[in-house]
Amino acid sequence: MRGPHNIWRLIRTGATFERTGAMAVVLEAMRAPAPLRVAARVLGWPFKWLGLTGDPALPPATRALTALGPAYIKFGQILSTRPDVVGEDLALQLRYLQDQLPPFSSTVAKQMIADELSLPVTTLFSEFSEPVAAASIAQVHQARLADTGEKVAVKVLRPGIEKAFRKDIDAFYLAAGIIEFLLPKTRRLRPTDVIAHFESVVLGELDLRLEAAAAAEFATTTADDPGFQVPRAKWGLSGRTVMTLGWAEGVPLGDNAAIDALGVDRVELSERILQLFLRHALRDGYFHGDMHQGNLKVSPTGDIIAFDFGIMGRIDEYTRRAYAEILFGFIQKDYRRVAQVHFEAGYVPPDQDIDEFTRALRAVGEPIFGMDASYISMARLLSYLFEVTERFGMQTRTELILLQRTMVVVEGVARSLNPQINMWKVARPVVEDYIKDHVGPRAILRDMRKSALILSRFGPRLPDLLEKALMEQVGTRPRNPPPTAAPWPGIWALAGAGTLALGVWIGAAL
């Protein structure tokens, strides 16, 4: 239940960070300005005694996030992929949150499976291990099917996880409301809408039937991608709180030493993971929305294996084209075209000056052209872009927050494999291939064909529709007028400064 009582949760959050020592660590890692550091410490110190203690064996930030609960753990998982934002040491510490959290009892897990599938575990499986991985929402057991002997992974939700998430999210709503009230300039970023989006994504993870469906669809759309595997769902052994998939044999993508021991080229691997993500987003409009190291493995043959499909993203065809045009514009240094796409799609308010916006884009991109990839700070780039979005009144596009977040995560994963990766050169062939196939004469012909097919289906009704339209023109109003068409969805989530971030990041040095 939302309300002022959640103030206690926010106070406890700050107090926990102070009590565990995480406050100083995080502010230092994020390179926060000195006044902010002082203010945070002064405000947090009086309430320090109210904070949770957490596990003293863990590093401060990890200790605080695990003590606070699953929603905070999710946030930490994202930061764990961004060593260029939070620093190498903190990012390494936070990887603990990806799949090494304390598991719950196997006895409880077996009872949940029996309740969900209406059969005891001993009947379903000839072998059933202790937890092999545990994250914020669920844990995984290795098992062997009793009837076929196939090795499988059985995922079981944590008991009471939905209630725990709802409590945390309610506090986030209160924090967003306070921010909007005290800092009016942040309203264009729509913090409350951002939390609503986060809520819908997380609650979707809490029904494993939906995840099984996502796994099946993703396996179909990526079936022909070389070097990429998706385990198949076992529908008869899956339900709301339990999901069974084929077992993925491999080493964690975050374990560079193990990858080297397999003899897999980490440079090629880093390029492949970025290109796969872009292909899924552009070609299919359907992509894995939680691609951190804990959800990826490398097989003995060097294939990337993806699992955990609770968060998946979709992009409509129009948005994909605009997205690709913006990326390609940055690759070609055609800032005018990038600006035009933003104005044409309504991403920038029409009362703004397109020439000024073009100049602002050039000011962001040009200073880092030709710079070695390892010297470019994503944190600094996002800071620059935030200034641009604020100046031109660009609002957050919550429908694409997941795209922005996932790109940041994938870029971090690629850098963990190869710190010298040149993001724009790796991405260029994927973007160019999409542009050739989907922007230009061939795309126009496909669009005309689709339009003709739609019109053909409405052929018998066209005379009546035309007569109705003419009657409206002469003054006869229909009783139920059709709703006004919704504007086209935005191209890039501005949850920090994301409208331009990917384009600049990929195209900056070309």
- Grouping H, G, I as helix, E, B as strand and the rest as coil, residue 154 is strand
Give the span between the Cα atoms of 95 and 488, in whole angstroms.
38
224 included as an active-site residue: no
Bin 209: left if φ > 0, else alpha if -120 < ψ < 50, else beta.
alpha
The residues, ordered by sequence, that sit 6+ positions from 205 with a Cβ below 8 Å of its Cβ are: 137, 211, 310, 311
Measured CA to CA, the distance from residue 489 to residue 293 in angstroms comes to 30
Q: State CA 244 to chain mean position distance.
A: 23
Phi, psi of 319, deg, nearest 5: -65, -35
CA distances from 399 to 78, 79, 214, 311 (A): 19, 21, 18, 14
What pTM was estimated for this model as a whole? Answer: 0.69
DSSP string, 46-83: GGGGGS----TTS-HHHHHHHHH-HHHHHHHHHHTT-H
First-to-last CA distance in the chain? 51
Q: Where do the DSSP E strands lie in 82-157?
A: 125-134, 138-145, 151-157
pLDDT tens for 199-254 read 777 777 888 999 999 999 999 999 999 999 999 999 999 999 999 999 988 998 98
- In whole angstroms, what is the distance from residue 165 CA to residue 349 CA? 36
In angstroms, the CA 14 to CA 56 distance is: 18
Sheet holding 125-134, edge to edge: 125-134, 138-145, 151-157, 242-246
Q: Where along the chain do its domains lie?
A: 4-98, 102-135+137-247, 317-398+428-437+491-507, 440-473
Cα distances from 13 to residues 10, 95, 166, 198, 385, in angstroms, run 5, 21, 16, 19, 29
Strands (E), 158-211: none
| Whole-number Å distance between alpha carbons of 510 and 500 | 16
Distance CA 499, CA 362 (A): 15
Spell out the residues 6+ positions from residue 367 whose beta carbon is closer than 8 angstroms to its own: none
- Taking only the tens of pLDDT, the chain with its 510 residues reads 555 566 777 777 778 888 887 777 777 766 666 666 666 666 667 777 777 888 888 888 888 888 887 778 877 776 676 665 566 677 777 777 766 678 899 999 999 999 999 999 999 999 999 999 887 788 999 999 999 999 999 999 999 888 878 777 877 787 777 777 776 766 666 677 767 777 777 777 888 999 999 999 999 999 999 999 999 999 999 999 999 999 988 998 989 999 999 999 999 999 999 999 989 988 899 999 888 888 899 999 999 999 889 888 888 887 788 777 877 777 778 888 888 888 887 778 888 889 988 888 887 777 665 555 555 555 455 556 656 766 777 765 655 667 777 887 888 888 889 988 877 778 888 888 888 777 666 666 666 676 667 666 666 776 777 777 777 766 655 444 444 333 333 333 333 334 344 444 444 334
Q: How far is CA 228 from CA 150, 161, 215, 307, 342, in A?
A: 21, 31, 13, 11, 34
Distances (CA, A) of 2 to 170, 171, 173, 191, 196: 5, 7, 7, 16, 13
C-beta neighbour count of 52 within 10 angstroms: 17
Q: Is 94 helix (H, G, I), strand (E, B) or coil?
A: helix
Q: Which residue bears the tokens 């019109």?
A: 455
Q: Which residues pair with 152 in a beta bridge?
A: 143, 246
Q: Can you read off the two tokens belonging to residue 460?
A: 């018998």
How many whole angstroms from its chain centre is CA 445? 33
**Partner residues linked to 133 by β-bridges:** 140
- Three-state DSSP class for residue 488: coil
Residue 148: Cβ within 10 Å count: 9
The crossing angle, in degrees rounded to 10, of helices 335-344 and 498-507 is 150
- What is the four-CA torsion angle of 307, 312, 316, 319, rounded to 10 degrees? -90
> Does residue 246 contact residue 322 with C-beta atoms inside 8 Å?
no
pLDDT at 188: 61
- Cα Rg of the chain (Å, integer): 25
Single out the catalytic residue among 84, 99, 168, 290.
Answer: 290
| Partners of residue 312 on adjacent β-strands | 288
